[in-house]
Copies of this chain bind each other. A is one copy, B any other.
Amino acid sequence: MNLLLFSAGECDTEGQLHLSGRRAQHVCQVLKARAGDQLVVGEINGLMGHAQVVAIEPQYVQLSVTLDQRPPAKLPVSLVVALPRPKMLRRILRAAAEFGVDNIHLINSYRVEKSYWQTPVLAPDTVRDYLLQGLEQARDTMLPGVHVHKRFKPFVEDDLPALMADREALLAHPGNVPVAPAEPTRRRLLVIGPEGGFIPYEVEKLLAAGCRQVSLGTRILRVENAVAALLGRAL
């Protein structure tokens, strides 16, 4: 945790923040903070700043908060990912928030197992927890948007055109095509298939919608590594 995040409602009118639970434990046990120490803090979807430790006990921390910095700019990148298995979904949500992705679209695909849609990881509070872990790591306060699209064809036909309006859409799919461009300035929509890849029909639909196919070389990468490699190429 490189940034301690709190919700707007948690700070009182005098800028005092009272923590218990996981965050208090972290401040005590991992950061080993003492009264008078300064911590880097941020208000979720708000400003960042610092906080002075006013009081500290094993299960309770009081902080005096000053917010005076903007969070870093979001990466101008949206991710469209075929819903991965729950374990990988957790990592991808965290990584996407960490890299500063602005929006994450989880879509269906022929090779997405139906059971994946039932995972408790998709509960809004759980999604938010994983996103917050990514923001805490990266020192950012702005939650990315997460959008769920349970049907492939309606997503490609009805939703994708609007998402692509101001962005270059790149479909990362193995093949004899150039490697994804490494340019920091372009607004991008990155489309990544499931383990085993999109089926030919899905690739055709995505290309017909205007996506450009790119590769990550000749090797077949795990979805989470493909995501991080593509985001790395957008830095």
Q: Which residues of A contact B (CB under 8 A)?
A: 2, 72, 94-95, 98-100, 137-140, 179, 182, 184, 216-222, 224-225, 228-233, 235
Contact = CB atoms under 8 A, between A and B. Distances in A.
A216 B140 CA distance: 15
Given A184-B179, A233-B233, A225 B95 contact: yes
A110 B209 CA distance: 51
Given A98-B225, A228-B229, 10 more contacts: A2-B220, A99-B219, A100-B217, A139-B218, A140-B219, A179-B184, A179-B235, A182-B182, A182-B233, A229-B231
Nearest to A230: B232
Contacts of A225: 95, 98-99, 228
15 contacts: A2-B220, A94-B222, A99-B221, A99-B225, A137-B222, A139-B218, A179-B184, A182-B233, A225-B228, A228-B229, A229-B229, A229-B231, A229-B232, A229-B235, A230-B232
A138 B222 CA distance: 8
Nearest to A183: B182
Contact of A137 (B94, B100, B220): B220
A222 B231 CA distance: 14
B222 A235 contact: no
Contact of A228 (B184, B220, B228): B228
Contact of A219 (B139, B184, B229): B139
B138 A221 contact: yes
